[in-house]
Amino acid sequence: MNRTITTALVGLASAVALIVVPSALAAYTSPKLEVTQAGTTSVIKASLSPDDDATASVRIYAPTGTQLTTNQAPGTSLGTVSALVMALDLGGADLPFQGQLLVAPPGAVPAAVQAACTQGATPLATWLLALTAAGQSVNVPAFVVATTGAQTALGPASIQVCLPPPDVPSGTPGRAVFGAKLYSATLTVNGVFSAVPVGAWISFWTPYNPGVGTVNAVGTVAAPAAVAPGAVSVAAKKSGRLGAGHAGRAGTRRGDRDHPRWSEAVRAQEARLGQGQGERRLQPQGKARDVLQGHSGRDLRVRTSAVQRARRGAALPLCEPDDGRIRRPEQDGQEEVAARGIAQETGACRAPVSLGWLGGRHGPDRDLQLR
């Protein structure tokens, strides 16, 4: 393995190294996000295995530092959309959809649909994925929502898409037409997201409970995608406990002091450091030094296994701690990383996502200690 790594890989590997994955979640394991960017054109591909549980919602956060332009006139085409759908009512046949990404005219999306998907937030923009296949047309709404509170650590805004359940009995109100199970979508978005030199798009995927049409919040997983020359994408595969031991070193104060409570929407998580083998010291080189944000010259340690998993794919489920507060429990005598984390949904398990290295920057106070 090379002893130098790209800035983007440093960020993703360091984040992946802090994940503890409960092995019980095995029915929603393959969500993947891939992003490429050239100027203000972003190509965003979100996909998963058609054999996974049906997706209830996807939220894709643009990297920190991204500038958004969302004042396009209603009806404006922002780019193209292609999608693959498994039609359960047609024997599981695959239907390829093509269409345009449009700025939605006023009233095109019912207010109740918008409120349910955005959890009451007023979107910066409402889009329509206007898709056609085999003479059939479908409009899938998407909402661009500004982040608030602790969510701003992820980026300035997210694209949010909510889908109807495809596998409930025919005739059930709100069921997807043809039992359509969307499992891949590629959006080419022009003139909305500014280019960033380095960063991470981060997606959160929430499945349905199979056959009943209820949201499986505990099954939520995260899949980030780096944006940088030679960028990598990370899939949300189930692979047990990821990362181990020392993940890195930065900051000037111990990380267990003065941590605020986050909002209900984004609750704090504990970031557990697991035990493992194969630690390798990596010296930051070139642009990787810039990631350290004033900590140039400090060594960065990333487990070989974590870097390899960042290249192949890694599972990042989210759950809520008991009291929604960052704490410092002990694990095998090793101090926990008290880092900023996220939990979009409620749940009983503990599976944090550290934000300290995503996008190559720390939290607002840069108070992150990885030991």
> Given the DSSP bridges, would you call strands 300-303 and 279-282 parallel, antiparallel or unpaired?
antiparallel
Kindly state the tokens that stand for 224: 């980030």
Range among 9-23, 201-215, 306-320 rated most confident: 201-215
- String of DSSP letters for 273-321: ----S-EEEE---THHHHHTSS-TT--EEEEHHHHHHHHH----B----
pLDDT in tens, 218-238: 999 999 987 654 444 555 544
User: Can you tell me the distance from the alpha carbon of 123 to that of 141, in angstroms, rounded to the nearest whole number?
Assistant: 12
Tell me which amino acid residue 261 is. R
Residues above pLDDT 70, as percent of the chain: 54
Burial (Cβ within 10 Å: 0-12, 13-18, ≥19) of residue 317 = buried
Per 3-state DSSP, what percentage of the chain is helix, strand, and coil (rounded to 5)?
A: 15, 30, 55
Residues 6+ apart with CB under 8 A from 31: 46, 47, 48, 52, 55, 58, 203, 205, 221, 223, 235, 236
Tell me which amino acid residue 229 is. P
**pLDDT of 151 higher than 70:** yes
pLDDT in tens, 104-144: 999 999 999 999 999 999 999 999 999 999 888 899 999 99
- Check residue 368 and give its pLDDT: 27
**pLDDT of 302 higher than 90:** no
Kindly state the tokens that stand for 246: 């020392």
- Check residue 230 and give its pLDDT: 40
- Flag whether the pTM goes above 0.75: no
**Length of the chain in terms of residues written:** 371
Residues above pLDDT 90, as percent of the chain: 50
Intervals of CATH 2.60.40 along the chain: 30-235
- Check residue 44 and give its pLDDT: 97
Any idea which of 4-8, 80-84, 196-200, 293-297 has the lowest mean pLDDT? Answer: 293-297
- On average, the pLDDT of the chain sits at 67
- Check residue 235 and give its pLDDT: 55
Pick the CATH number of 30-235 from 2.60.40, 3.30.70, 1.10.1740, 2.130.10: 2.60.40
Give the residue with greater pLDDT, 354 vs 168.
168
**pLDDT of 21 higher than 90:** no
- Check residue 134 and give its pLDDT: 81
- Check residue 160 and give its pLDDT: 98
User: Can you tell me the distance from the alpha carbon of 343 to that of 92, in angstroms, rounded to the nearest whole number?
Assistant: 33
**pLDDT of 78 higher than 80:** yes
- Check residue 236 and give its pLDDT: 58
pLDDT in tens, 314-334: 334 443 333 333 333 333 322
pLDDT in tens, 2-15: 433 344 444 444 44
For residues 316 and 282, is the Cβ–Cβ distance under 8 A? no
Give the three-state DSSP class for 144. strand
User: Can you tell me the distance from the alpha carbon of 223 to that of 208, in angstroms, rounded to the nearest whole number?
Assistant: 17
- Check residue 7 and give its pLDDT: 42
> For 344-368, what is the mean pLDDT?
32
> For 238-251, what is the mean pLDDT?
30
Task: Estimate the crossing angle of helix 7-16 against helix 304-312, to 10 degrees.
Answer: 100
Give the residue with greater pLDDT, 224 vs 291.
224
- Check residue 135 and give its pLDDT: 84
